[in-house]
Amino acid sequence: MSTTGKTDNTGKTEKIDHRKLGGALYGAKAVPQALDVPEFAFLAVDGVGDPQQSPEFGAAIAALYAASYALKFAVRADTGTDYAVMPLEGLWRSNDPHFDAVSVDSYGPGDRAGWEWTLLIRQPVPYTDAQLAAALAKAAAKAGAETTGRLRRESFAEGRCVQVLHKGPYETEPRTVKLLHDYLHTEGLREAGRHHEIYLSDPTRTAPERRRTILRQPVS
């Protein structure tokens, strides 16, 4: 797949939207489906705590977006390649041995206090160390040096996964998680990695009942 943008009839470079080019990777359905997820490169940051209560969570999102947009502009200035910034993603794990998202109807406040999360934004176009350093410097000035300094590169391939589309508030995700896990049980599959979410809707601009989130589970 080419990462260089085409030019339109005005001579301007068209923006590449890798989400639209990703097919099923970003086009989950309301019923579980299996797919193979190749290796992708990300900027990532780790944290612990309730995403609705922790200032650290919001700061991590701001730093990731600031760095991703700054990197996009750096790549465009140097190469002419323009692309859409990818959606926010999250890897999740609960360190509470009594927490079971499969058997609850909605997430309770106490359930979320011990959540371990890794927030990510995929970087779909190659970039240089110099471009990244410049982008991180701009992001630090905008989103704060402390959180931006914790951003790191991460690449991984999840391989075989099962995913499903959740529609509605994040708090009601356990119903869809149960649907996903029921499918795993029926197909004789087991979890082989962290619970993965891809936020197709911007929560700052989308009403909770209209949000669309991909729930993805690596399996073996």
3-state secondary structure the chain: CCCCCCECCCCCECCECHHHHCHHHCCCCCCCEEEEEEEEEEEEEEEECCCCCCHHHHHHHHHHHHHHHHHHHHHHHHHCCCECCCCEEEEEEECCCCCCCCCCCCCCHHHHCCEEEEEEEECCCCCCHHHHHHHHHHHHHHHCHHHHCCCEEEEEEEEEEEEEEEECCHHHHHHHHHHHHHHHHHHCCCECCCEEEEECCCCCCCCHHHCEEEEEEEEC
The reported pLDDT for the residue numbered 5 is 53
Pairwise CA distance, residues 178 & 189, whole Å:
14
Residues 6+ apart with CB under 8 A from 101: 94, 107, 111, 173, 174, 177, 195
Here the tokens at position 178 are: 């149960």
Residue 76 sits in a domain of what CATH number?
3.20.80.10
Predicted confidence at residue 165, as pLDDT, reads 98
Q: For residue 12, what pLDDT is reported?
A: 60
What is the domain range of residue 40? 18-96+104-218
| CA separation for the pair 101, 176 (Å, rounded) | 10
Residue 40 lies in a domain: yes
With respect to residue 12, please indicate whether it lies within any of the assigned structural domains: no
Residue 1 counted as domain residue: no
Q: How far apart are CA 110 and CA 56, in angstroms?
A: 18
Residue 120 lies in a domain: yes
Residue 1 is predicted with a pLDDT of: 36
Nearest to 217 by CA among 18, 117, 189, 42: 189
With respect to residue 26, please indicate whether it lies within any of the assigned structural domains: yes
Per-residue confidence (pLDDT) for residue 11, from 0 to 100: 52
User: Does residue 8 belong to any structural domain of this protein?
Assistant: no
- Cβ atoms of 163 and 35 closer than 8 Å: yes
Q: Is residue 197 part of a domain?
A: yes
Residue 13 maps to a domain: no
- What pLDDT score was predicted for residue 204? 81
Question: Torsion angle of alpha carbons 51, 196, 148, 212, nearest 10°?
Answer: -70
Given a cut of 70, the residues of the chain with pLDDT beneath it are: 1-13
Total domains, the chain? 1
